Amino acid sequence: MATPVSATSGSKANTANTAPPVQAKDDSALSPAAKAKAQLNASIVQASLTVSLNSSNDPLSVVLKTALTGINEALKDDFGDNAIQNAASQDNTPEGTASRIVSLSTAFYEAFKQQHKGEDEGEVLNKFVETLQKGVDQGFKEAREVLDGLKVLNGDIASNIDKTYDLVQQGYTDFIAAHQPKTAEAS
């Protein structure tokens, strides 16, 4: 994760690039692990202090770093160290994103069918996909609104969102075709 740095080159905050040595409050020796953790914490605090608050975006870098650290800690037990960075390294192309959306959402089909026992299988399948499509439509709408509000919904971002949406819709069409109940053939 990147350490925040000052955006102003002449800042006095830039002159202190290292954290002071770490020692216990009572001058006793710290274990190597405790000393390393304390030095890391001191370095993080020092790096955070070097962030210039003159620019409106610099405080957000501190918020981002703090949020990512907290999220990584919360996810550590389930997903291991650096869960956010590992997730960010996944395939974020329209194809990769659409594939994850389709595979994760359609994974609930068997549970959905169990909740609709005795109903026509074709109708259950269509109801399931309609439910998914409503959620996807809402999610894409909200994502577009957020990106538009940030004034970044243009060019490649807009076209990649459109492509991802189209690929998700195609994935649902393929899912329906693969799970359509077999009809009795006339002999």
Say what the alpha-carbon torsion angle 37, 42, 48, 51 is, to the nearest 10 degrees.
-140
Summarised one tens digit per residue, pLDDT across range 59-95 is: 556 666 777 788 778 888 888 888 777 776 778 889 9
Same domain for 31 and 101?
no
Summarised one tens digit per residue, pLDDT across range 2-26 is: 444 433 434 444 444 444 444 444 5
For the chain, the residue count is: 187
CATH code of residue 143: 1.10.132.90
Q: Which domain holds residue 20?
A: 12-88
User: Where is the domain boundary, 47, 62, 88?
Assistant: 88
* Per-residue tokens: 168: 């998700």
Mean pLDDT of all residues in 176-180: 95
Residue 170 pLDDT class (50, 70, 90 cuts): very high
Total number of domains in the chain: 2
Same domain for 98 and 175?
yes
In a domain, 131, yes or no: yes
Kind and range of the H or E run holding 131: helix 121-149
Helix axes 121-149 and 94-106, enclosed angle (nearest 10): 140
Mean pLDDT of all residues in 42-59: 50
Same domain for 77 and 99?
no
Task: Round the average pLDDT of the chain to a whole number and report it.
Answer: 75
Residue 86 DSSP code: H
Say what the alpha-carbon torsion angle 102, 64, 22, 36 is, to the nearest 10 degrees.
10
In a domain, 186, yes or no: no
Report whether pLDDT(179) > 90.
yes
